[in-house]
Amino acid sequence: MEFGVDEAGKGPVLGSMFAAAIRASRAELPDGIGDSKRLTMQRREDLAARLRENPNVEIGVAEITPEQIDAGNMNELVVSAHAKAADAVVQAGDAGLCDAGDVDADRFGSRVEARISTSVAVDAVHRADESDALVGAASIIAKSEREAHVDSLRDRFGEIGSGYPSDQTTRAFLSRYFGEHGEFPSPTRRSWATCDSIRASAEQTDFGDF
């Protein structure tokens, strides 16, 4: 059997990264599978629901928390996430494809393969989420898991934006929270440069007030 793996949420300053693996016959995949970034939210969630509801589609998910990200190396963590997601569904003799998370796609595939506890063959290709339906399906699930996670953070903290450093709503939330509490909320990747700039800005403000 074949499987595909992809991750979502590598770049945000807020929240976890998620990887997903899809193990299925390609005939079981719904029409319209593609890179999740190119789909509307409604279309992506519809496809994610159809994948989850199909008993012939096996799904593995791995979450990498902000704490793990701050303590680790992102290249290693992406490899680990792909391997953990795949490990949840693969069987001996399977062959899989990952969306390469390394400039050297072959190296990435080899590293993921070495981390999976079952004997499988793993290849990796850049932008495989756009060219391979199984990886595209994994991309949809990973993005859906990430969005559900962000929704849970909104329930806790209010409007936080997308969680990405380029999102001004996210930056405003973090700046406000840091100003009120003197620290960042627990789901923050505190090692990100975004946090350094917010700290520096707060320190300048405090010095000016003094």
Both tokens of residue 124?
């990796």
At residue 100, the 3 state secondary structure works out as: coil
Domain shared by 145 and 203, yes or no = no
Q: Is 7 annotated as a binding residue?
A: yes
Does pTM top 0.75 for this prediction? yes
Separation CA 108–CA 139 (nearest Å): 17
Judge whether 18 and 147 are in contact, CB under 8 Å. no
Give how far Cα 168 sits from Cα of 10, 68, 134, 158, Å: 18, 25, 34, 15
Both tokens of residue 163?
């969680």
Q: Is 99 annotated as a binding residue?
A: yes
Domain shared by 163 and 93, yes or no = no
Judge whether 88 and 117 are in contact, CB under 8 Å. no
- Boundary-marking domain end, from 113, 133, 154: 154
Query: What's the distance, CA 154 to chain centroid?
Result: 18
Separation CA 72–CA 201 (nearest Å): 26
Q: For every one of its 210 residues, what pLDDT tens digit does the chain have, with 9 covering 90 and above? A: 999 999 999 999 999 999 999 999 999 999 888 666 778 999 999 999 999 999 999 999 999 999 999 999 999 999 999 999 999 999 999 999 999 999 999 999 999 999 999 999 999 999 999 999 999 999 999 999 999 999 999 999 999 999 999 999 999 999 999 999 999 999 999 999 999 999 998 877 654 454
The CATH number of the domain holding residue 203 is 1.10.10.460
Range(s) of the domain holding residue 77:
2-154
Both tokens of residue 42?
């409604």
